[in-house]
Amino acid sequence: MNFSANLGFLFTELTLPEAIRAAKTAGFAAVECHFPYDVPPADVKAALDETGLPMLGLNTRPGDTASGDFGLAALPSRRDEARQAIEQAVAYGAAIGARNVHVMAGKIGVAGEATFHENLAFACDLAAGHDIGILIEPINQRDAPGYHLSRVEQAADVIAAVGKPNLRMMFDCYHTQIMQGDLTRRIERHLPLVGHIQIAAVPDRGEPNEGEVNFPALLNSIRALGYTAPIGAEYRPRSGNTHDGLGWLTAYRP
């Protein structure tokens, strides 16, 4: 099985283009990122072309994080900002050849559901012209209290309600284990809706080589289901240095 380096957490001491090159050297088959917008897209595209690594995805801007924002798309009072963030993410993604954009919902209750659906439909229509997928991600309430989307079944309902062919779910095993567990069966049940899978140890979000999830068994199950895309490594290195903890990658790769 192949893996994607999430450069929001890995190789963070490097610039984004340098981190892409470091991921290639380390043996990752792809990369993904969070918020690349301060880096010229031409520089990112050059590093991707040089290494041959695909960029699996990036996030919409989360808003004003200092004021507690963690996404905008489900906030009725922030519709214009949410759409500007979507337009920026899709344009940046198109410029670097990214495969997906993760539209961040934000922290709000059920009252924002209609707004979330409308903004996702807008994102899907915009992204379709660039052959880009739109992802939504259930995020756990311990790390992001009040986040609008926190359960896999809720994400499945959103996908059905919006009804766009390029809208899929980012299944983050770390978040789902904290909220719901039963990872193997939930992935099996929802795999047709899954656009990307991510892993990290639970509960510390470190390297996926210890903790309460049996990742060798889980990854074998995912492979047996026919999922062949790279698995996203979205973890925080325990030592603070990505290179110190890469033994798991050698152990899990074929």
- Residues tagged active-site: 137, 234
How far apart CA 106 and CA 96 sit, in angstroms, is: 25
**Residues 6 or more apart in contact with residue 111 via CB below 8 angstroms:** 76
In one letter, which amino acid is 55? M
**Backbone angles phi and psi of 36, in degrees to 5:** -90, 10
Helix, coil or strand: residue 128? helix
Check if the beta carbon of residue 194 is closer than 8 Å to that of residue 169.
yes
In one letter, which amino acid is 210? E
Please provide the DSSP assignment of 53-94 as one string.
Answer: --B--EEPP---GGGT--B-TT-GGGHHHHHHHHHHHHHHHH
How far apart CA 209 and CA 78 sit, in angstroms, is: 40
